[in-house]
């Protein structure tokens, strides 16, 4: 199986990606992991990407796509993979299709976690991170005993800038502009499967499994 997982920030893609990858026995491949691996090893692509990142600029699609192409050529991904965080735009999706076509294969399905904007803001803005051990708490779903102290290590809890309502709203705006059009692109190909991403994690996971089993017949 060759899959892509899409959804807005806060939809729970990381959790569902782990579940789907384990269910189908395929590697979970994220662009974050790919970037860190290339930069860490000092590959030519990593050196190029780091130059853009250090300058605070977006890494060009060509560099990102080449990194993904290299990763998908690894032996563990030859017969299947789950991509999380790529493609982010329609041009990247077209490039991925062309890459897979050149290798005489194609995507099987694109899973979309569907969630309302208000729920995303509720999830992300409630997160609190420990300055000591890095554990993430949630004031509603997983609250610490004290509002400003970590139960695990006693460290001070704080709200990351990424988890503030204004920042979340901007991230959602960028998602709607750049990534949401992927649903039209893959929907026109008949590869898109929508999954309700609201509710407890175990409920979303159950719906994800049901959707996959139904799609696979």
Joined tokens for residue 131: 């300055």
Active-site residue, from 50, 122, 135, 171: 171
Name the phi and psi angles at 11, rounded to 5: -80, -15
What is the C-alpha R_g of the chain?
Answer: 18
> Is 127 one of the annotated active-site residues of the chain?
yes
Q: Which residue carries 């491949």 as its tokens?
A: 29
> Is 122 one of the annotated active-site residues of the chain?
no
Q: State whether residue 194 is helix, strand or coil.
A: strand
Among 205, 187, 209, 188, which residue's Cα sits nearest to residue 197? Answer: 205
Active-site residue, from 88, 122, 135, 191: 88
The answer to whether the beta carbons of residues 181 and 87 sit under 8 Å apart is: no
> Is 191 one of the annotated active-site residues of the chain?
no
What is the spatial distance between Cα 26 and Cα 87, in angstroms, rounded to a whole number?
18
Residue-wise burial string across 101-134, b where 16 or more C-beta atoms lie within 10 A, e elsewhere: eeeeeebebbbbbebeeeebbbbbbbbbbbeeee
Give the distance, in angstroms, between the CA of residue 85 and the centroid of all CA atoms in the same chain: 4
Active-site residue, from 13, 28, 71, 123: 13
Active-site residue, from 106, 152, 160, 173: 160
Active-site residue, from 28, 71, 127, 207: 127
> Is 152 one of the annotated active-site residues of the chain?
no
> Is 71 one of the annotated active-site residues of the chain?
no
Active site residues: 13, 88, 127, 160, 171
């Amino acid at each position: 199986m060759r899959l892509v997982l899409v959804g807005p920030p806060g939809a729970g893609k990381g959790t569902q990606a782990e579940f789907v990858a384990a269910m189908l026995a395929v590697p979970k491949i994220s662009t974050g992991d790919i970037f860190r691996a290339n930069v860490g090893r000092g590959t030519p692509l990593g050196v190029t990407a780091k130059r853009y990142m250090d300058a605070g600029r977006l890494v060009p699609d060509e560099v990102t796509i080449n990194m993904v192409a290299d990763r998908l050529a690894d032996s563990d991904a030859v017969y299947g993979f789950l991509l999380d965080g790529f493609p982010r735009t329609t041009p990247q999706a077209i490039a991925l299709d062309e890459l897979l076509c050149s290798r005489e294969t194609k995507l099987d399905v694109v899973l979309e976690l569907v969630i309302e904007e208000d729920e995303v803001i509720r999830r992300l803005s409630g997160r609190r991170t420990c300055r000591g051990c890095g554990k993430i708490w949630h004031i509603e779903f997983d609250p610490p005993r004290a509002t400003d102290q970590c139960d695990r290590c006693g460290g001070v809890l704080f709200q990351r800038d990424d988890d503030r309502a204004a920042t979340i709203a901007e991230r959602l705006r960028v998602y709607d502009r750049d990534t949401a059009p992927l649903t039209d692109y893959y929907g026109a190909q008949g590869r898109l499967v929508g999954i309700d991403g609201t509710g407890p994690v175990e409920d979303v996971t159950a719906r994800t499994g049901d959707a996959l089993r139904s799609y696979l017949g």
